[in-house]
A = this chain, B = another copy of it.
Amino acid sequence: MGLIISVDIGGTQIRAALYRRDSLNALRVEKIKTLAEQPGVFQRLEGLVASIWPSDEKVDAIGLASPGPLDPHTGTIIATPNIKEWRNFPLGETLSEKFGVPVFMDNDANLACMGEWKYGAGQGHHNVLFLTISTGIGGGVIVHDRLLQGFHGLAAELGHVTILPDGPMCGCGKRGHIEALASGPAIVQYIREQVKAGRTSSLANLKNLTTRDVVEAARNGDLLALETMQRAGKYLGIAVANYLAIFDPSIVIFGGGVSQSGPVLFDAFHASLNETVFDPTYLKNLAFARAALGDDAGLLGALALATVSTPDH
Contact = CB atoms under 8 A, between A and B. Distances in A.
A69 interface: yes
Contact of A151 (B126, B155, B174, B245): B126
Interface in A276-292: 276, 278-279, 281-282, 284-286
A282 B127 contact: no
A238 B162 contact: yes
A177 B279 CA distance: 13
B69 A148 contact: no
Contacts of A144: 143, 146, 148-149
Interface in A142-160: 143-144, 146, 148-158, 160
B160 A249 contact: no
Copies of this protein in the complex:
2
Given A146-B144, A174-B276, A242 B162 contact: yes
A248 B163 contact: no
9 contacts: A126-B151, A143-B143, A150-B247, A152-B248, A160-B245, A162-B163, A162-B238, A163-B165, A177-B278
B248 A154 contact: yes
A228 B84 CA distance: 46
A246 interface: yes
B162 A165 contact: no
A209 interface: no
A241 interface: yes
Contacts of A169: none
Contacts of A78: 281
Contact of A276 (B146, B162, B238, B247): B162
From A126, A143, A149, name the one whose CB has the most chain B CB atoms within 10 angstroms. Answer: A143
Of all A-B residue pairs in the complex, the 5 with the closest CB atoms, nearest first, are A150-B248, A155-B248, A151-B250, A160-B278, A157-B245
Contacts of A177: 278
Interface in A192-248: 235, 238, 241-242, 245-248
A164 interface: yes
From A164, A247, A281, name the one whose CB has the most chain B CB atoms within 10 angstroms. Answer: A247
Contact of A154 (B69, B153, B172, B282): B282
A281 B278 CA distance: 31
A151 B249 contact: yes
A101 interface: no
Contacts of A235: 165
A175 to B, nearest CB: 8
Interface string A240-277: 01100111111000000000000000000000000010
Given A127-B150, A148-B247, 16 more contacts: A126-B151, A143-B146, A150-B249, A151-B248, A151-B249, A152-B248, A154-B245, A154-B282, A155-B247, A156-B246, A157-B279, A160-B245, A161-B242, A162-B241, A163-B163, A174-B276
